[in-house]
Amino acid sequence: MPAAIKGTITVDGQEITITNPEKLLWPDCGITKRIYLEKLAALSPYLLRYCRDRLLTVIRYPHGVSGMSFYQKNAPDPLPAFVQTAVHENINYIKLQGLAELIWLGNLAALEFHPSLHYVGSDLPCEWMIDLDPSREVEPRIMEATAIVGTVLTSLGLSSVPKTSGATGVQIIVPIETGVTFDGLRKIGHFVGRYVTEKHPNLFTLERLKKNRGDKIYFDYLQHYSGKTLAAPYTPRARPLATVSTPLLWEEVRQNVSPTDFHLLNIEERLQRMGDLLEKVPPQPVQQLIAKLP
DNA sequence: GCCTGGT
DNA sequence: ACCAGGCAACGCTGA
DNA sequence: TCAGCG
Ligand SMILES: [Mn+2]
Ligand SMILES: [Mn+2]
């Protein structure tokens, strides 16, 4: 055993203790904690935009992706003075407001960041995220399914941005004006889900029981509740290949890219080239559509 | 990874 | 001083 | 009422 290393770095004026920088967090990719923290810093302008002012859930892997993991919602005690929290339903959530918080959590081996779909203190969703969950561990039709949903959205007059979840699935994000409710999103989600399931009954399912889904892709329109979370855009995932939840061009969906194409070791270059694809789409007229639904 | 409580 | 345990559990759905 | 789900 090499002696454990411990040191302090200063991030945005805050002192943060870093332990075991050479510990392998993604052994198959050779990603140590040191490399992870560097990649988090590169991701931070993008990731933080979709985490700030929300209730944060992290998933931690103190011994790397192949070790035991646990969810953490409650802020640990003691908490660094610079970390803000917010209470929601009896849980004292961490707020991921800046790079200092991100690096602090990275040192704690928080490998995944799952923010709420609403801002702290609000009951309203920030965006509509259509969640497609494959039943199989590898789903070659996931981009085909994504394209189908995208076409339906287009026919409804809605622009959207697909993103890999970083695991096996995809989310399709429709920016919305504030004022749309979670009830409204479930309603329009159910509507779109019924439509694609009817048109492609072998590809999509709305079946809630796993054992009845076969190998179809679950159209999960029930994610839209206050307090529920989804993998943030640009969050790393605790998967063997260190995949990152990555917003895509629709053209890339047509070209059938794989979720494993986008990972911690190549995401920086992509972001420099493409910027934040999500930011480029303005709020869409979702409320009018919901209002017209039966 | 790190803190706490029990031994 | 050392070690084991904890770190999310809960609301909603469909039957 | 409750197992199953995310
Ligand atoms: Mn999903
Ligand atoms: Mn889901």
pLDDT tens track of chain A, all 294 residues? 567 899 999 999 999 999 999 999 999 999 999 999 999 999 999 999 999 999 999 999 999 999 999 999 999 988 999 999 999 999 999 999 999 999 999 999 999 999 999 999 999 999 999 999 999 999 999 999 999 999 999 999 999 999 999 999 999 999 999 999 999 999 999 999 999 999 999 999 999 999 999 999 999 999 999 989 999 999 999 999 999 999 999 999 999 999 999 999 999 999 999 999 999 999 999 999 999 998
Nearest nucleotide relative to A107: CA against C1': B1
Q: Tell me the CA–C1' distance in angstroms for A4 and C4.
A: 22
What is the C-alpha to C-alpha distance for residues A275 and A35, in angstroms, rounded to an integer? 22
Q: What is the pLDDT of residue A131?
A: 98
Q: What is the pLDDT of residue A3?
A: 73
Peptide bond before A294: cis, by omega within 30 degrees of 0? no
Chain B nucleotides with an atom closer than 7 Å to a protein C-beta: 1-4
Chain D nucleotides with an atom closer than 7 Å to a protein C-beta: 4-6
Q: Tell me the CA–C1' distance in angstroms for A77 and B5.
A: 15
How many residues does this entry show for chain A? 294
Ligand 2 center from residue A170 Cα (angstroms) = 10
Residue A57 near residue A71 (C-beta atoms within 8 A): yes
CATH 3.90.920.10 is the classification of domain A127-292: yes
Strand B CB shell (< 7 Å): A 17, 19-20, 23, 33, 60, 62-63, 70, 76-78, 107-109
What token pair was written down for A196? 């694609």
What is the C-alpha to C-alpha distance for residues A213 and A152, in angstroms, rounded to an integer? 22
Q: What is the pLDDT of residue A4?
A: 83
- Model-wide pTM > 0.95: yes
Kindly determine whether the C-beta of residue A210 is less than 7 Å away from any atom of nucleic acid strand D: yes
Q: What is the pLDDT of residue A1?
A: 56
Q: Which residues, 6+ apart, have CB-to-CB distance to A199 below 8 Å? A: A148
What token pair was written down for A157? 């007059």
Q: What is the pLDDT of residue A294?
A: 86
Nearest nucleotide relative to A62: CA against C1': B1
Specify which residues A94 forms β-bridges with. A56, A85
Ligand 1 center from residue A121 Cα (angstroms) = 25
Chain C nucleotides with an atom closer than 7 Å to a protein C-beta: 7-9, 11-14
Q: Tell me the CA–C1' distance in angstroms for A76 and B6.
A: 21
Q: Tell me the CA–C1' distance in angstroms for A96 and B1.
A: 19
- In CATH, what number does A7-119 get? 3.90.920.10
What is the C-alpha to C-alpha distance for residues A255 and A252, in angstroms, rounded to an integer? 5
Q: Tell me the CA–C1' distance in angstroms for A1 and C11.
A: 46
Residue ranges matching CATH 3.90.920.10 in chain A: 7-119, 127-292
Q: From residue A101, give the alpha-carbon distance in Å to each of A42, A43, A95, A224.
A: 14, 13, 8, 27
